[in-house]
């Protein structure tokens, strides 16, 4: 990458917009996963009774099992959300930036 | 002085332990006492052996094909960067889902019920983090190893030596765990094959795959293995659900009715009988989450894809496959409670303990396959378990060899001026060396308690590789001094606290109560690493530090846009 291209990108507001948006999304989604998983872990540690309560009076299935499955499914969904946003939003901006810089 | 004595005693003790086991390794196998063989040897498991031979011939065929297409260093380390997102997603799953997690989590559910799910969740949550923070930037900045990324704008020598040390510690210990598991598993499945012979077979095969076919062969071995494992586990879970009329309510209530612990298997959030320990749980969570995102053989997979878009897609596929797999193992574990426990064909003595299985605690999933599909399906699942070990060990060996050849030989010793052919040759020699080392260590550790190995590898990955990599990508202020001091703090902090922790200090060395009361040191070491890296960086006023900070902008442009990133080979 030449110095000229680098300085063109550096002075392109679209690039700073991209970095800001992608970092916001990346760190926010990471925070969601951490809150979800460490919230679950803290519940295991401090309020296990909530997790082990059955989901219905006549069921043996504990609430925590649904939450555990929920975290697995949510992890897959959130990765899907990021990939979708990156394909739809970030990739076109990156293509723009690269094109403008190599003009 | 006392501390010195204790430390030296510990080191000597470990060395003696190691030496005694290693000398045992060189015993002539024929001299082993015949009493070890049961009076009536069980019939040879032909189904398993035939399916295993089919798998080996197919993978060796692929290795031959890959060998003819592996010419450059990029072919050898990164499969010519031609792997698609979907293929890499499968390979990621194949690299990550070990036999230990398949058999181990199913067994955990079989003995403890619901707790098995809690445990498996931790192994998945690192994947979204890999995607959100590192996958694309890794692909844009790196060439063959994650040290390429960390040393992008920092000093090559010190950074790569630190990164190679941490990679090698992780890889070698992970290899020991895999080798011991392989030996035990194969010996149990095919008792005619000794523990040592099993490990030697694994060693020979992975040396063939990796030296001849490099990353291309490794990737395809991992893809085939992931397909077989996901397919086999799907069939098992389907068999269980068919038996239970496709009702989860019936599955769980039947299991509760049959399990000797009864409803406790639904109400225990720790292994049954263990005490809840909040700090330990949180530390385990941190270790699993950030450890996954710092495993060198996993990170290496992101250099094999065509571009950052494929890198991103591959994590989505990988996460879905791995999540699906953990849900299957949960069903399989409960299925084993219903179909395997209390069955005199599998249980040592049904009148004593209906859970205690012949062949040991990792057998529930294996016996379940027999209960569902007879000898044929048992043979299939046994062969899949073996394929699983080969795939994981191949990935590990290649990651270890690339740390030695690319980071140490080519970048530090030859200062980046190594001949490409020579570098690949060095790498192949390292593969052979690591393969032999894995065999020897696997034999040496046969009778050892290897439970702490996972804690060790994931702790170093979580406390060293992951934080230093994230800092180097996201924080302009990181300098060589900060990265190196932080990195060594992570490596030595993890090792020291693990040695003085309950598993090694008390159980392995027998030194009485542990000096550090937790098995997973991440909750202490990770913050210390961040503080050390921060303070050592901001107080670094050297000229080179100024240049490193100034080089951050260019690094970020490449990381974010992919301009200048390594491109896929045209062939």
What per-residue confidence (pLDDT) applies to B41? 52
Question: A96-100, B11-15, B103-107, B546-550: which has the highest mean pLDDT?
Answer: B546-550
Q: Encode pLDDT of B32-53 as tens digits.
A: 333 333 434 567 778 888 998 9
CB B154 within 8 A of CB B307: no
What per-residue confidence (pLDDT) applies to B270? 84
The answer on pLDDT for B3 being more than 90 is no
Mean pLDDT over residues B363-375, rounded?
Answer: 93
Mean pLDDT over residues B432-441, rounded?
Answer: 95
The more confidently predicted of residues B156 and B186 is B156
Are A52 and B562 an interchain contact pair (Cβ–Cβ within 8 Å)?
no
Q: Residue B420: which of B71, B168, B34, B8 has the closest Cα?
A: B71
Domain that holds residue B419: 42-447
Structural domain count, chain B: 1
What per-residue confidence (pLDDT) applies to B360? 81
What per-residue confidence (pLDDT) applies to B18? 40
Residue with tokens 């060439």: B143
What per-residue confidence (pLDDT) applies to B275? 79
Say how many C-beta atoms besides its own lie within 10 A of residue B547's C-beta. Answer: 13
The answer on pLDDT for B17 being more than 60 is no
Distances in whole angstroms, Cα of residue B442 to Cα of each of B204, B313, B449: 13, 36, 12
- Smallest CA–CA distance, residue B253 to chain A, in Å, is 6
Mean pLDDT over residues B487-516, rounded?
Answer: 91
The answer on pLDDT for B255 being more than 50 is yes
- Smallest CA–CA distance, residue A65 to chain B, in Å, is 7
Mean pLDDT of chain B: 89
What per-residue confidence (pLDDT) applies to B33? 38
- A64: Cβ–Cβ under 8 A, 6 or more apart, which residues? A40, A43, A44, A50, A51, A52, B114, B117, B118, B269
Are A60 and B127 an interchain contact pair (Cβ–Cβ within 8 Å)?
no
Nearest to B127 among A10, A48, A79 (CB): A79
- Tell me the chain A residues in contact with residue B268 when contact means C-beta distances shorter than 8 Å: 52
- Smallest CA–CA distance, residue B90 to chain A, in Å, is 15
B493 in any annotated domain: no
What per-residue confidence (pLDDT) applies to B21? 41
What per-residue confidence (pLDDT) applies to B272? 81
Are B249 and A61 an interchain contact pair (Cβ–Cβ within 8 Å)?
yes
Mean pLDDT over residues B131-143, rounded?
Answer: 95
Structural domain count, chain A: 1
- Smallest CA–CA distance, residue A94 to chain B, in Å, is 6
What per-residue confidence (pLDDT) applies to B386? 87
Q: What is the 3-state secondary structure (H, E, C) of B114-151?
A: CHHHHHHHHCCCHHHHHHHHHHHHHHHHCCCCHHHHHC
Q: Encode pLDDT of B94-122 as tens digits.
A: 999 988 888 889 999 999 999 999 989 99
Q: To probe the interface with B, which of A62, A92, A102 has the most B CB atoms within 10 Å?
A: A62
- B494: Cβ–Cβ under 8 A, 6 or more apart, which residues? B456, B459, B460, B463, B464, B521, B522, B525
Nearest to B114 among A6, A30, A65 (CB): A65
B556 in any annotated domain: no
Q: What's B196's domain CATH number?
A: 1.20.1730.10
Compute, in degrees rounded to 10, the torsion defined by CA atoms B540, B544, B550, B555.
-110
Q: Encode pLDDT of B256-295 as tens digits.
A: 999 999 999 999 888 887 777 889 889 999 999 999 999 9
- Helices then strands, each counted (H, E), chain B: 24, 0
Nearest CA in chain A to B254: A60
- B257: Cβ–Cβ under 8 A, 6 or more apart, which residues? none
Percent of residues, chain B, with pLDDT higher than 90: 72
The answer on pLDDT for B520 being more than 50 is yes
Nearest to A68 among B121, B252, B285 (CB): B121
The answer on pLDDT for A30 being more than 90 is yes
What per-residue confidence (pLDDT) applies to B137? 95
Domain that holds residue A55: 3-101
Q: Residue B380: which of B244, B239, B235 has the closest Cα?
A: B235
B539 in any annotated domain: no
Strands (E), chain A: none
- Smallest CA–CA distance, residue B281 to chain A, in Å, is 7
B563 in any annotated domain: no
Is B124 in the A-facing interface, judged by CB distances under 8 Å? yes
The answer on pLDDT for B240 being more than 80 is yes
What per-residue confidence (pLDDT) applies to B1? 45
The answer on pLDDT for A84 being more than 50 is yes
Say how many C-beta atoms besides its own lie within 10 A of residue B45's C-beta. Answer: 20
Is A48 in the B-facing interface, judged by CB distances under 8 Å? yes
The answer on pLDDT for B4 being more than 70 is no
What per-residue confidence (pLDDT) applies to A57? 87
The answer on pLDDT for B348 being more than 70 is yes
A–B: how many Cβ contacts below 8 A? 151
């Amino acid at each position: 990458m030449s110095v000229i291209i680098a300085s063109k990108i550096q002075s392109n507001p679209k690039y700073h917009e991209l970095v800001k948006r992608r970092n916001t999304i990346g760190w926010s989604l990471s925070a969601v996963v951490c809150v979800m998983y460490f919230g679950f872990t803290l519940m295991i540690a401090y309020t296990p009774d909530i997790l082990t309560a059955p989901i219905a009076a006549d069921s043996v299935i504990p609430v925590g099992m649904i939450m555990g499955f929920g975290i697995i499914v949510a992890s897959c969904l959130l990765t899907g959300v990021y990939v979708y946003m990156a394909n739809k939003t970030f990739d076109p901006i990156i293509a723009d930036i690269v094109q403008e810089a190599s003009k | 002085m006392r501390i010195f004595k204790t430390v030296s005693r510990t080191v000597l003790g470990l060395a003696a332990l190691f030496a005694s086991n290693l000398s045992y390794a060189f015993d002539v196998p024929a001299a082993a006492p015949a009493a070890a063989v049961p009076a009536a040897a069980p019939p040879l498991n032909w189904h398993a052996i035939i399916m295993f031979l089919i798998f080996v011939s197919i993978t060796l065929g692929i290795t031959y094909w890959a060998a003819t297409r592996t010419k450059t260093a990029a072919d050898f380390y990164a499969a010519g960067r031609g792997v698609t997102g979907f293929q890499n997603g499968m390979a990621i799953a194949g690299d990550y889902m070990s036999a230990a997690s398949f058999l181990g989590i199913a067994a955990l559910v079989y003995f403890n019920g619901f707790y098995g799910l809690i445990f498996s969740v931790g192994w998945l949550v690192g994947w979204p983090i890999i995607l959100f923070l590192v996958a694309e930037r890794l692909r844009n900045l790196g060439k063959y190893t994650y040290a390429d990324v960390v040393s992008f704008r920092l000093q090559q020598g010190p950074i790569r030596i630190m990164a190679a040390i941490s990679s090698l510690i992780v890889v070698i210990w992970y290899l020991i765990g895999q080798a011991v598991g392989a030996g035990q598993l194969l010996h149990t499945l095919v008792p005619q094959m000794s523990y040592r012979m099993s490990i030697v077979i694994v060693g020979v095969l992975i040396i063939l795959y990796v030296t001849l076919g490099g990353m291309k062969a490794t990737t395809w071995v991992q893809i085939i293995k992931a397909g077989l494992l996901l397919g086999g586990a799907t069939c098992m879970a389907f068999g269980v659900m068919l038996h239970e009329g496709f009702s989860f309510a019936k599955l769980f209530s039947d299991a509760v009715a049959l399990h000797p612990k009864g409803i406790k298997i639904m109400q225990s959030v720790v292994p049954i009988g263990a005490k809840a320990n909040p700090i330990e749980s949180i530390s385990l969570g941190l270790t699993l989450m950030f450890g996954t995102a710092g495993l060198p053989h996993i990170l290496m997979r992101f250099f094999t894809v065509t571009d950052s878009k494929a890198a991103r897609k591959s994590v989505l596929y990988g996460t879905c496959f791995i999540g699906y797999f953990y849900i299957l193992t949960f069903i399989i574990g409960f299925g084993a409670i219903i179909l395997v426990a209390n069955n005199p064909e599998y249980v040592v003595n049904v009148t004593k303990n209906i859970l205690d299985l012949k062949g040991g605690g990792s057998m529930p999933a294996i016996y379940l396959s027999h209960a569902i599909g007879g000898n044929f399906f048992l043979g299939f699942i046994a062969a899949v378990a073996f394929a699983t070990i080969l795939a994981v060990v191949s990935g590990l060996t290649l990651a270890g060899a690339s740390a030695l050849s690319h980071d140490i030989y080519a970048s530090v010793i030859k200062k980046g001026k190594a001949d490409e052919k020579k570098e690949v040759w060095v790498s192949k020699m390292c593969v052979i060396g690591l393969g032999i080392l894995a065999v020897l260590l696997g034999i040496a550790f046969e009778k050892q308690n290897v439970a702490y190995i996972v804690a060790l590898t994931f702790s170093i990955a979580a406390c060293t590789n992951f934080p230093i990599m994230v800092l180097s990508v996201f924080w302009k202020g990181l300098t060589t001094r900060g990265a190196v001091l932080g990195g060594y703090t992570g490596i030595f902090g993890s090792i020291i606290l693990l040695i003085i922790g309950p598993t090694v200090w008390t159980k392995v060395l027998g030194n009485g109560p542990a000096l550090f009361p937790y098995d997973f040191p991440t909750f202490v070491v990770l913050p210390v690493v961040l503080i050390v890296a921060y303070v050592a960086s901001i107080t670094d006023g050297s000229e080179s530090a100024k240049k490193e900070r100034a080089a951050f902008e260019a690094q970020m442009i490449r990381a974010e846009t992919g301009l200048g990133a390594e491109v896929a080979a045209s062939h």
